[in-house]
Amino acid sequence: MGEKIYLLPKAAISLLVALSMPVSAHAQERLVLAASSSWNINYADDYCRLQRMFGTGDEKVMLMIDRFSPSESFRLNLAGKRFSRSGSVEAATVQFGADLPEQKLEFYAGDLGKEVPAWLFIPNVRIRPLAEPIKEDEPRKVTFSEADEAAVNEIRIGKPLKQQVVLQTGSMKGAFGALRACTDELLRHWGIDVDRHREVAQIARPIGSPGNWLRNSDYPGDMVVKGEPGMVQFRLVIGEDGLVRSCHVQQSTNSEGFDEAVCNALKRRARFEPARDKAGNPLVSYYMNRVHFSVGR
């Protein structure tokens, strides 16, 4: 939600960690992995995670679907030995079920837990891609159907893998329903009126460009010296007066270095037109975005 913010010191470039490639030297047509666990839903303070394991042994793959607020889109993460690192930059092909379109999605590589390779997809993902972009300042529109969710019974991951991996999810209608219930609970936890917010006529709109909220001088000095990049996903609670009531870091790649710098800058500089309900009355709402810190070499 909202435009991305890039903090770029001198000669900086956007952060893209080395991407993953498969380790198998023998390309086969497909590797079909049955579910090896039940769906698990994690009710965290600032996001909801839908998680399931597929396959066993060295072929094991962990699927994670994260949502940070009520939405059709989600953040997709995949972890397992076949998602190891490579020096090239590529997009992955992903398809949700046999009847929905294949998508090309950018990702960067990292480690999950005890150095388990993982693909962390950069854009927000939908099971059915949008026919045309939705403007960021428009209220949320429903562009999917529960029939789409029910029809998704597998997730196919192709290039840059040499061997396509197929995760046999079974119908995902119930899993996505559980995720929606979790994100509604998130809003209640944040002090948001869920029923009023479902029919919001105007979302909280930034005054001016969010790209001006953070500046090169906000890049933590010790992180610049170390050449440390970072990515911070944040949430702001916006009051009826359009002012920032609170700042919360939802996910961060280097929390000790960047979280405090991001929230301090946003609380000083971010201003909004408040959200309004269908009667035109202002209401407490939220705004979410990400900051990418990167030092040029």
* Angle, CA of 164, 166 and 172, to the nearest 5°: 145
Decide which of 155 and 228 is more confident.
155
Query: pLDDT tens digits for 204-249?
Result: 999 999 988 988 888 888 888 877 777 888 999 999 999 999 999 8
How far is 188 from 70, CA to CA, in rounded Å? 11
Q: What is the chain's mean pLDDT, rounded?
A: 81
Does pLDDT of 135 surpass 70? no
**Cα separation values, 197 from 20, 203, 206, 277, Å:** 39, 9, 18, 7
How far is 56 from 33, CA to CA, in rounded Å? 8
How far is 50 from 179, CA to CA, in rounded Å? 7
pLDDT at 15: 29
Query: pLDDT tens digits for 172-203?
Result: 999 999 999 999 998 888 888 888 888 888 89
Does pLDDT of 132 surpass 70? no
CATH number of 18-190: 2.60.40
Residue boundaries of the structural domains of the chain: 18-190, 196-293
Are residues 13 and 294 in contact, defined by beta-carbon separation less than 8 angstroms?
Answer: yes
Place of tokens 């979790």: 182
pLDDT at 77: 92
Whole-model pTM: value is: 0.72
Which residue from 198, 171, 173 is spatially nearest to 183, judged by alpha carbons?
Answer: 198
Query: pLDDT tens digits for 278-296?
Result: 889 999 999 988 888 877 6
Are residues 96 and 152 in contact, defined by beta-carbon separation less than 8 angstroms?
Answer: yes
Query: pLDDT tens digits for 28-67?
Result: 588 999 999 999 999 888 889 999 999 999 999 999 999 9
pLDDT at 297: 52
CATH number of 196-293: 3.30.2420.10
Q: What percent of the chain has pLDDT over 90?
A: 41
Task: Detail the DSSP E strand segments found in the chain.
Answer: 5-7, 20-21, 30-34, 40-43, 48-54, 61-67, 75-79, 84-85, 91-96, 103-112, 116-121, 155-157, 164-168, 205-206, 230-238, 244-252, 272-273, 275-276, 282-283, 285-293
